[in-house]
Structure 1
């Protein structure tokens, strides 16, 4: 389950799956659980799972095969340095979080401004 730590859920899921790949719990060539299974395991929506999978795909740990699923790359379990893009991914996560907060604030402002009764013409 994703914890409320302030770190985006999709990054927590990506961290967990990355650890499983690195330790061999998800062996090279093994299929990842389906999106539905991951949604149930982590108690999140499909979009959160897809974002986590996208992170791992960008890092080169997994590959997707159309109509077959998503699989651990053959050489993914080998220990490697953190990808150079991890800092960029963290910055993107922070930007998404900030945009979501701004969206909420705008929605609150719209409710406050437009809360009066509607006038008929």
Structure 2
């Protein structure tokens, strides 16, 4: 059920479905409930559910098949996305480390300049 938290309902629904997918409650290749079923389950309008599904499609977690429904992406597709996430995480960590080291060097420069001038 969508809660009145100030966070848009479609984001709450996308969060819940994302958790189900990542937690294994919705297996790769498994169809998601219909838009009408999800609207009833979350006590939301069809348009709100469709917006949530659009987010999951954009994230690559689900794929739609015309006339058949929306399905959880297969494992190999999710694994590739997971590899990309790991790379991005590693790059962020490296940038943070380099930023910290640069700040240390910049902090040391004025002290060295003061010693040279004395």
| TM-score w.r.t. length of structure 1 | 0.64
List structure 1 runs of 4+ shifted beyond 6 angstroms. Answer: none
Aligned residue-pair number = 83
- Choose 1 or 2 for highest CA Rg: 2
1:11 aligns with 2:11: yes
Give the corresponding residue for 1:51.
51
- Secondary structure of the residue that 2:14 maps to in structure 1? helix
RMSD: 2.0
**Could you tell me how far apart the structure 2 residues matched to 1:50 and 1:12 are?**
13
Moved more, 70-79 or 28-37: 70-79
Higher normalized helix content (fraction of residues) = 2
Distance 2:23 2:54 in 1: 20
| Bigger RCO (CA 8 Å, 6+ sep) | 1
Give the Cα separation in 2 of the matches to 1:16 and 1:8.
Answer: 13
Q: TM-score, structure 2 length as denominator? A: 0.65
Secondary structure at 1:26 match in 2: coil
**CA offsets per residue over residues 56-113 of structure 1, 9 Å max, x none?**
000000000000000000026658339x9xxxxxxxxxxxxxxxxxxxxxxxxxxxxx
Matches of 1:39 and 1:30, distance apart in 2: 19
